[in-house]
Structure 1
Amino acid sequence: MQAVIGLLVMMLGASYGLETYCDGRQDGAQCFGPLGGTVVLQLMDRASERERYKLYKSSDKTTLILTVINNKIFNNAIKSRSLFNLSDGTFRVNNLSRTDSDEYPFEIRDNKGIKENRALRLTIQAPVSSVRLASECLSQGEKRVSCSSGGGDSPQYSWTLDGRSLTDTELLSVNTETNSITLKQHVSGAVACSVRNNVSRFCGFTFIKCTSNETQISQWVFAANNMLCVEPTAPPTTISDSSTVADHSLLVCGVRAAVVVFALIGIAFYFAWKNKDYKKAEGSAYRPEREHQDESVVMVEM
Structure 2
Amino acid sequence: MDVVFGLLLLLLLGISKGVKTYCDGRQDGAQCYGALGGTLVLKLMDSASEIYKYQWLNKTTVILNGRKNRIVNNQIENRSSFTHSDGVFRIYNLSQTDDGEYALEIFDSHGSKLVHQNQKLTIQAPVSSVQLVSECLSQGEMKVSCSSEGGDSPQYSWTLDGQTLTDTQLLSGNNETNNITLKQDTSGLLVCTVRNHISTISACGFIYTNCTLPNGKLVSPWVIIATNNLCIESTTTPNWIDTEDRSLPQYAVRAAVVFLVLIGIAFYFVWKTKKFKEAQCCPITKTTENQNTSVLIAEFTRSASEL
Same fold (TM over 0.5): yes
Q: Are the counterparts in 2 of residues 194 and 201 from structure 1 also a CA contact under 8 Å?
A: yes
Partners of 1:155 and 1:20 in 2: CA distance: 17
Partners of 1:167 and 1:208 in 2: CA distance: 21
Partners of 1:115 and 1:31 in 2: CA distance: 23
Does residue 222 in structure 1 map to residue 229 in structure 2?
yes
- Give the 3 Å change call, closer, same or farther, for CA 162–76 of structure 1 in structure 2: same
- Give the 3 Å change call, closer, same or farther, for CA 70–133 of structure 1 in structure 2: same
Aligned pairs, number? 210
1:215-245: per-residue Cα shift (whole Å, max 9, x none)? Answer: 76625152249xxx79xxxxxxxxxxxxxxx
Query: If each structure's helix is expressed as a fraction of its own residues, which one has the higher value?
Result: 1
Deviation, structure 1 residue 46: 0.7
Deviation, structure 1 residue 162: 1.1
Residue 109 of structure 1 corresponds to 107
Partners of 1:199 and 1:135 in 2: CA distance: 28
Instruction: Tell me which amino acid in the other structure corresponds to 2:229.
Output: F
Q: Are the counterparts in 2 of residues 191 and 208 from structure 1 also a CA contact under 8 Å?
A: no
Residue 22 of structure 1 corresponds to 23
TM-score scaled to structure 2, two decimals?
Answer: 0.64
Partners of 1:35 and 1:139 in 2: CA distance: 44
Residue 12 of structure 1 corresponds to none
Q: Are the counterparts in 1 of residues 204 and 231 from structure 2 also a CA contact under 8 Å?
A: no
1:239-265: per-residue Cα shift (whole Å, max 9, x none)? Answer: xxxxxxxxxxxxxxxxxxxxxxxxxxx
Question: SS where residue 99 of structure 1 aligns?
Answer: helix
- Give the 3 Å change call, closer, same or farther, for CA 50–135 of structure 1 in structure 2: closer
Runs of 4+ in 1 over 4 A off after TM superposition: 175-178, 208-212
Q: Are the counterparts in 1 of residues 64 and 75 from structure 2 also a CA contact under 8 Å?
A: yes
Which structure has the greater CA radius of gyration? Answer: 1
Q: With CA pairs under 8 Å and 6+ residues apart, which has the higher RCO, 1 or 2?
A: 1
- Give the 3 Å change call, closer, same or farther, for CA 224–174 of structure 1 in structure 2: closer
Question: SS where residue 78 of structure 2 aligns?
Answer: helix
Query: Following superposition of structure 1 onto structure 2, how do residues 1-302 of structure 1 map, counting pairs within 5 Å?
Result: 17-58=18-59, 62-112=60-110, 113-174=112-173, 179-207=178-206, 209=208, 210-211=210-211, 213-214=218-219, 218=224, 220=226, 222-224=229-231
- Give the 3 Å change call, closer, same or farther, for CA 16–155 of structure 1 in structure 2: farther
Q: In structure 1, list runs of 5 or more residues that go unmatched.
A: 1-14, 231-302
Question: SS where residue 85 of structure 2 aligns?
Answer: coil
Residue 274 of structure 2 corresponds to none
Q: In structure 2, list runs of 5 or more residues that go unmatched.
A: 1-15, 213-217, 235-307
TM-score scaled to structure 1, two decimals?
Answer: 0.65
